[in-house]
A and B are shown apart, each in its own frame.
Chain A
Amino acid sequence: MSHKSNDEAPAAPSFWRDPRKRQWIFQILVLALVGLLFAYIFHNTLYNLEKRGISTGFDFLNHEAGFNILMSLIPYDETYTYGRTFLVGLLNTLLVSAIGIVFATLIGFLVGVARLSSNWIISRLANLYIEVFRNLPLLLQILFWYFAILPLLPHPRQSIQIGELFLNKRGLYLPKPIFEPGFGWVLAALGLAIVASILIARWAHRRQEATGQPFPVFWTSLGLIVLLPWLAYGLAGFPLNWDLPELRGFNFRGGIGVIPELFALALALSIYTAAYIAEIVRSGIQSVSHGQTEAAYALGLKPGQTLRLVIIPQAMRVIIPQLTSQYLNLTKNSSLAPAIGYPDLVAVFAGTTLNQTGQAVEIIGMTMGVYLVISLTISAFMNWYNKRMALVER
């Protein structure tokens, strides 16, 4: 065997020995296989649909639905179209998710902080809450609240009353605000106060950077945000009335009626997700090393300032991405609604509408599309946030 001299260029590798060419051939093969699979599925679907006499396309969205929906945020009855049904379901999904997110966050932060309490009993109780509710299937919890606990509530006549709030077998009744013409001024004042607070905060920050003089931003903003709307409210002649729920005959009239399905679903979603949020809050706060607290004390910050200026900003960096993904999970979990008959997107659209029209491909596609859009939007936000918040290391 003879050695080639060094200045001679090596012969080009044979076709199969060049990893880059091999990779391209492999990729083209994969793509072709996936394409074939899709073509096969497409062919079968068209054939099966034709055999069953189902026409494809989205025309059905303009047909009359012919069924009523238990609860709707927009005007709806049997004469509206399937397109409207879709919208009603979507709004109901968003409503229960929004309620769930608010309460899950409140309970979650409370339990998470309690879990870190130096008080042994409080921290054990919080731990018990987390371990119990996180390790039970959500569907079981929803069924439990709806089928086992709600029937134990009293009849409307013996409602549990807290202020002007009534709770009974048929749901929860709340006072309903009625906005009269002048109420726009109150909202305008609130907006003005918020904008002013932001400007003041910026100015105060710049002044402190330049001169070192602090400014009580929090109290000023709080004063503005509380006082200005009240002032406007008074000047406009108190343009707000409450429509109170009242017992008439066998049921309540007036106010906002929360149907028991919504009540049970929102309750279960909040309690279940709160257990996860509590764990996130705990691990977020614990992720800030103790040295940070000691350093802050060494600089002469008070415990409250240490919490507000040092620990919370660093903990939030860990908490917020996980919190957003829990919000996303809650929204996706609200799709368990059909189990108790809450008319969300899955129940009215992928359930009733699908059964009536048989347009499986279009309807499942649209339903999945909605959830996909929501989750892609949230993950886009998360990526943006992570990039903004990423630690800039030396």
Chain B
Amino acid sequence: MAETATVYEPGTHPDLPPPATEVGVIGWLRQNLFSNWWNSLLTVVGLYLAWAAFAPLIQWAILDADWVGDTRDACSSGGACWVFVNVRINQFMYGFYPLEEQWRVNLTGIIFALSLAWLMVPRIPGKRYGALFVLIVFPIIAYYLLGGGSFGLPEVETTRWGGLMLTLILATAGIVAAFPLGILLALGRRSQMPIVRALSIAYIELWRGVPLITVLFMSSVMLPLFLPEGVYFDKLLRALIGIFMFQAAYIAEVVRGGLQAIPKGQYEAADALGLSYWKKMRLVILPQALKLVIPGIVNTFNELFKDTTLVLIIGLMDLLAIIKTSLEDPNWLGYSIEGYVFAGVVFWIFCFGMSRYSMAIERKLHTGHKR
């Protein structure tokens, strides 16, 4: 029986579904992976590359790995020996901080995490007080809690600090201390006063022009020469001073970007209201500019976090340095890959998280400032 074509009145034809090759999984595959012969070839090569890279990696790191045990004898299956990391994890986290005092480090960490949440989660009110807390109150608390020596806490010398804890201390102390100086330098660079501007530019360009490692060398060998007789800074403080001076220059440039992005009308309106320079900056310009540069600050912090590993070269025991030292332990020779992969995973989680956060903020801020 031959089917006769139905004749529709104009406008009454029912909607047909799109062809199966254009939608759904098949459509997606066609469009993204096999749109032409060249693309199909790339897909095959890409799949092969991914398989060649990840199959052995997963086999080594997870399927064949040894996880529990106390000595290297526990590692016999030929895969990764995570026992090494397991045995040393306390040292990797706290360095040589006495075991019974480690609650102080944990408490500091918790306070810091809570105050960060206060600053980072948009819904929690009182950001201004949060910022003041992190910049002024928290460093004092952390100093007494970690260092001890008063309030009935036994003293823990900075030479015993190490591991991830030291990495975090270096990065946060560096950025918190550098922030006020960075803002002043940024204002100085945009100032009308020629001498102040020249000094700010000289400072910023000098520190931005040299690698951090030379700054650390400088603070560890030259700084003692600069001090009057009888004044002694320990190794950690010297490294921190170097990081602080270096970082201030980078923050200054980030903040300057924010200052430049504020429309001229805002400056003129503040002037027209008769605000003094500091009132204008404090009440009108900086609140807007600092909001704009949050992603930039987070990125700077991210770079600093990675750069703190350089203190290894001047002999401080940060996470990377302590892992490198443990790898030289004759009981655990030959597990370099495990050690560095573990360090990599820890650093990667922090850095990737920060970069995602900064991207999210950037997207959120982007809406209001598209002019």
Contact = CB atoms under 8 A, between A and B. Distances in A.
Contact of A136 (B209, B229, B312, B344): B344
A137 B209 contact: no
B211 interface: yes
Nearest to A378: B209
Interface in B27-86: 32-33, 35, 39, 42-43, 46-47, 49-50
Given A30-B195, A125-B49, A136 B210 contact: no
A120 interface: yes
Interface in B181-195: 192-195
Contacts of B306: 135-138
Interface string B317-337: 000100010010000000011
Contact of A48 (B42, B47, B224): B224
A31 to B, nearest CB: 6
Contact of B42 (A121, A138, A143): A121
Contacts of B228: 44
B46 A364 contact: no
Nearest to B348: A135
B21 to A, nearest CB: 17
Given A332-B211, A364-B222, A121 B50 contact: yes
B348 A147 contact: no
Contacts of A31: 195, 199
A151 B336 contact: yes
Contact of B213 (A137, A140, A336): A336
Interface string A118-152: 11111001000001101111111001100111010
Interface in A354-394: 354, 360-361, 364, 367-368, 371-372, 375-376, 379
A339 B318 CA distance: 14
A147 B46 contact: no
Given A125-B50, A360-B222, A143 B320 contact: yes
Contacts, number: 151
Given A34-B199, A132-B348, A143 B211 contact: no
Contact of B46 (A118, A122, A137, A149): A122
Nearest to B340: A144
A352 to B, nearest CB: 12
Interface in A23-58: 23, 26-28, 30-31, 34, 41, 44-45, 47-49, 51
Nearest to A26: B193
A41 B223 CA distance: 9
Interface size class of B (residues with CB under 8 A): 35 or more
A120 B32 contact: yes
B352 A135 contact: yes
Contact of A335 (B209, B214, B225): B214
B307 interface: yes
A34 B39 CA distance: 63
Interface string B335-371: 0110110011001100110010000000000000000
Interface of B: 32-33, 35, 39, 42-43, 46-47, 49-50, 192-196, 199, 205-206, 208-211, 213-214, 217-218, 221-222, 224-229, 302, 306-307, 309-310, 312-313, 320, 324, 327, 336-337, 339-340, 343-344, 347-348, 351-352, 355
Interface of A: 23, 26-28, 30-31, 34, 41, 44-45, 47-49, 51, 117-122, 125, 131-132, 134-140, 143-144, 147-149, 151, 332-333, 335-336, 338-339, 346, 350, 354, 360-361, 364, 367-368, 371-372, 375-376, 379
